[in-house]
């Protein structure tokens, strides 16, 4: 595989609108880009979204590896909810957490995943397994399941298993935990004074649990912990991603950055530096959501770093192989179903009843005997 194609395979990028533009398609094909991420700007209706997914997925036939593309979305429920009605409107995870039922959590993720799969989406940046242990934290708030580590761990694991059951790749976030921060990493770099032992006793508990649920993908946080790594935020830190995540916690899945164009990073480093450092630190996939000039800048920077000896070629080759292996295992049937089939799944009466019951603080009758 050509070096640039290997680099491209470990990138997920945003698209401008509700249809695939020729320049976007050409860029994806020519650079062997690994996948795309959808936002509200890309989502107009179920039929439009299904067709956009199909068009993006069809690009693989023109690409060097012929591998399926990750078609991803940030879909948690509550305020992080890219898909509007007629899709089921899912409540925030805090409502799920209050019920403290693994059966409800599992069914919640499975049903949401079924609707995503119906329109060709195969990767969801969910669940958020941050612990809401700072009441002043508006960044996370009701996106968290609970302020208790054991509840987040138990229900987070059930959510991951539910996504897997629906054939969606789950991506737990935000490692090693965003629940205590006050600064929004979209706009600035949060700094936390916790030690590793303090993280290990609380924030890391849900991550340990979801790793055992066979989590395929983990998203890193743009947070700095100077008592653990005085130089780099987590998403750019070899201490966090290699020494802690791989060696101590023995996580074996893939690692993806949070959006690399967030203020937490770009206020402190150049786009070229960020891309190279993220891969050197131990991320397997780079995420670029909103700025069209960032992916080509990153491609050029990483390619130059490898040629100049600042980044090992073996790192790039290993990442590309791992991405392709996950796709071969999990994206067996990547094309979306027909719209006729999708219509039977989207806003299914069972999904609407489940969402309504969760908001009302009730465990649905059919899950009562399974509730824990």
Q: Which two tokens stand for residue 79?
A: 């305020």
Cα(364)–Cα(372) distance, integer angstroms: 13
Beta strands in the chain (DSSP E): 11-14, 35-38, 70-73, 75-77, 80-81, 123-124, 169-175, 217-220, 254-257, 286-288
Task: Let me know if 258 is a catalytic residue.
Answer: yes
Residue carrying the six token digits 């693989």: 60
Residue-range domains of the chain with CATH: 3-358 (3.20.20.300)
Report phi then psi at 116, rounded to 5: -65, -45
Give the single-character DSSP code of 331. Answer: -
Cα(30)–Cα(13) distance, integer angstroms: 14
DSSP secondary structure letters along 87-114: S--PPPHHHHHHHT-HHHHHHHHHHHHH
> Of these residues, 216, 258, 259, 261, which one is catalytic?
258
Task: Let me know if 186 is a catalytic residue.
Answer: yes
- Summarize pLDDT for 237-293 with one digit per residue, the tens: 999 999 999 999 999 999 999 999 999 999 999 999 999 999 999 999 999 999 999
Give the single-character DSSP code of 67. Answer: P
Residue carrying the six token digits 């600042």: 310
Is residue 140 a contact partner of residue 128, using CB atoms and an 8 Å limit? Answer: yes
Measured on CA atoms in the order 75, 325, 155, 234, is the torsion positive or negative?
Answer: negative
Provide the residue count of the chain: 372
Quote the pTM value: 0.96
> Of these residues, 23, 186, 231, 335, which one is catalytic?
186
Is residue 96 a contact partner of residue 108, using CB atoms and an 8 Å limit? Answer: yes
Phi-psi region of 250 (alpha: psi -120 to 50; beta: other; left: phi over 0): left
Per-residue pLDDT of the chain (372 residues; tens, 9 = 90+): 999 999 999 999 999 999 999 999 999 999 999 999 999 999 999 999 999 999 999 999 999 999 999 999 999 999 999 999 999 999 999 999 999 999 999 999 999 999 999 999 999 999 999 999 988 887 899 999 999 999 999 999 999 999 999 999 999 999 999 888 877 788 889 999 999 999 999 999 999 999 999 999 999 999 999 999 999 999 999 999 999 999 999 999 999 999 999 999 999 999 999 999 999 999 999 999 999 999 999 999 999 999 999 999 999 999 999 999 999 999 999 999 999 999 999 999 999 999 999 999 999 988 876 644
């Amino acid at each position: 595989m050509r070096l640039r194609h290997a680099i491209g395979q470990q990138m997920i990028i945003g698209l401008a609108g509700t249809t695939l533009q020729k320049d976007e398609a050409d860029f994806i094909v020519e650079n062997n880009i690994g996948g795309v991420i959808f936002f509200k700007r890309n989502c107009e209706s179920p039929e439009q979204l299904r067709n956009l997914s199909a068009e993006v997925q069809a690009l693989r036939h023109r690409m060097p590896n012929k591998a399926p593309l990750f078609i991803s979305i940030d879909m948690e429920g509550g305020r992080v909810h890219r898909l509007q009605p007629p899709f089921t409107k899912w409540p925030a995870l805090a409502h799920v957490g209050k019920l403290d039922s693994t059966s409800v959590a599992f069914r919640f993720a499975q049903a949401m995943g079924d609707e995503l799969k119906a329109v060709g989406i195969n990767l969801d940046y969910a669940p958020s397994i941050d612990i809401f242990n700072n009441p002043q934290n508006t960044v996370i708030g009701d996106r968290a399941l609970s302020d208790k580590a054991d509840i987040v761990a138990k229900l987070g694991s059930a959510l991951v298993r539910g996504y897997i059951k629906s054939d969606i790749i789950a991506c737990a976030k935000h490692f090693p935990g965003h629940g205590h921060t006050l600064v929004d990493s979209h706009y600035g770099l949060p700094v936390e004074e916790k030690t590793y032992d303090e993280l290990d006793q609380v924030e890391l508990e849900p991550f340990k649990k979801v790793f055992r649920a066979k989590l395929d993908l983990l998203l890193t946080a743009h947070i700095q912990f100077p008592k653990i790594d005085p130089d780099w935020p987590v998403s750019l830190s070899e201490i966090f991603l290699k020494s802690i995540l791989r060696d101590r916690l023995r996580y074996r899945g893939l690692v993806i950055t949070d959006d690399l164009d967030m203020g937490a990073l770009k206020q402190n480093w150049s786009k070229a530096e960020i891309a190279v450092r993220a891969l050197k630190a131990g991320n397997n996939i780079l995420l670029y959501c909103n700025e069209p000039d960032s992916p080509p800048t990153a491609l050029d920077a990483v390619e130059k770093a490898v040629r100049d000896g600042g980044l090992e070629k073996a790192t790039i080759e290993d990442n590309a192989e791992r991405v392709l292996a996950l796709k071969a295992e999990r994206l067996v049937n990547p094309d979306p179903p027909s719209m006729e089939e999708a219509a039977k799944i989207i806003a299914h009466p069972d999904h609407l009843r489940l969402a309504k019951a969760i908001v009302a603080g009730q465990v649905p009758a059919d899950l009562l005997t399974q509730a824990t």
